[in-house]
Structure formats: C-alpha cells, structure tokens
Amino acid sequence: MAEQIEGRNPVLEALRAGHELVKIYILNNESSNGPLREITGLAGKKGIPVNLVDMEALNRMAVTRNHQGVIAMAAEWKYASIQEVLDQAVQKSEPPLILLLDGVEDPQNFGSILRTAEAAGVHGIIIPERRAVGLTVTVSRASAGAIEHIPVVRVTNLTKTMEELKKSGLWFTGVEMDGELPFQKADLKGPIGVVLGGEGKGISRLVREHCDQVVRIPMWGRINSLNVSAATAVSLYEVRRQRSEGLGDKN
C-alpha cells in the first residue's frame, strides 16, 4: 500500500534518504522555485516521475493541511529490527541510546518526538503495535523529514523486548512526574533505554515495573507536568549532557 509524504522538507528528506518514491506531484507554477526545484532535480536523477498539477488537485489529494505545493507517493515506511538499532550504536562507537514509547497515540506528538530524537542522536525508537500511532503521513509531516533517518521498531510486547535488551546490558529509565529522584541526579551515561508513556496515561504498570529506575523532571512552576513531546526533549538532552561531560562536546 502506497503512503503519501507531504511538504517540502519531508519529501526532500525522503529523496535524500533513498526512500522508494513512486511519483511526485508538484504545484505547476512553483516547480522552478527554491526547494521545489531541488526536489524536481533529485527526482529527475533518480528517474522518479514528476507531475505538475494545480492547487485544487493538490488540495484534493492532501491528507494534512499544509502540503506546501508538493506531495509524493511512496512505498510504506519500513520498520527496523532491534538488531539494526543496536548496530547503529556500534557504528557510532557509542553506548546504545534507545527511546521506548509506551502508548503515544497523537501523530503530531510522535512526529515531534522523531524530530527531537534524531537531533539528539538516538539510535532507535521502540513502539508497541497496539494502542499507539505508527509511521503515517501525518507523523512524517510533523517530523520534518526525521522519519527518514531514525530506525523505528514496532513490537508486540514491550516488556519482553525490555527483558531481551537488558541481556544486552541496557538499563531502563522511566520518566514520570512521580519518579523517585530528579533525573539530573540519575546516572544516564551508560547503555540506556529512556521510557516515556502516552498522553494522559503515562507509563503502564507492567512497563514501569520493568524499569530499573524511574526519574522525574524537576518542575518549578504551577503546572506539574509536560506533554510527552516536551518531556522527551528534556530527557534526551539530559542524557546527552551527562555523556558529553569531560569529553568535549563537538557541538
């Protein structure tokens, strides 16, 4: 089944990453301008057909509200394996940094998380098959193309997956507002799986029981929690901060 990729950055990143695109539709009076010209050029080099269409046709095809004058028809996004994620860490000579999402259902949140995780150098993301959003056109659009660059693993049982990864030396840290200690006091330098729960529900009981520690993000205002996208960003950059201490951060 074909998927749609909508928006200039998502389509451009799909082309750069070698995602299998079947056809690209571009607004007829914009094909020679800026990013759309680059898309047209890359598509030509790869032998991907480009159809010039009017705005009405694009609006009819669009799933999201802002296609920015370009829609690509693509092969379905492929999910990765656990081994592929671990191999990413080996290739970068880093201890594994894996993000495990327990029931994130909002595609905008998931897309934003993908974008943050890719920027933070996460080696892969694990999601459950049930009660969670997968890789979709809306997620792609919200990720601004990051969906093309970070492995996502879909599993039937999160707790069994955690048990298997523990055998590879991973230490799982859950992030909840009632965590036992502030996360900046936790040791996050080694091989780690950062666990966050879905919108409103948090981490499920069984997944929490499989965490080696549960930490909290310090809050100083009147609001006592962050949404899952913001909490993910804060958590991942705390891991990176701790890992960069004494090493001389290249950024």
Q: Is the pLDDT of residue 248 over 50?
A: no
- Pairing of β 181-182 and β 171-175: unpaired
For the segment 36-48, the average pLDDT, to the nearest whole number, is 91
CA dist., res. 247 & res. 159, Å (int)? 33
**pLDDT of the residue at 190:** 93
Tens-digit pLDDT profile for residues 3-18: 888 999 889 988 988 8
Helices and strands (H and E) in the chain: how many: 9, 11
Domains belonging to the chain, first-starting first, are 2-75 (3.30.1330.30), 82-246 (3.40.1280.10)
* Tokens (6 digits) for 191: 């091989």
Residue 245 Cα distances to 13, 30, 122, 191, angstroms: 32, 47, 18, 16
Give the mean model confidence (pLDDT) for residues 82-99: 96
Least confident of 30-34, 49-53, 72-76, 177-181: 30-34
Predicted local distance difference test score (pLDDT) of residue 239 = 95
For the stretch 163-176, pLDDT in tens is 999 999 999 999 99
Mean pLDDT of the chain: 90
Label residue 203 by pLDDT band (50, 70, 90): very high
List the beta bridge partners of residue 170: none
Condensed to tens digits (0 to 9), the pLDDT of residues 116-167 reads 999 999 999 999 999 899 998 889 889 988 998 999 999 999 999 999 999 9
What is the rounded average pLDDT of the residues 36-65? 91
137 or 196, which is more confident: 196
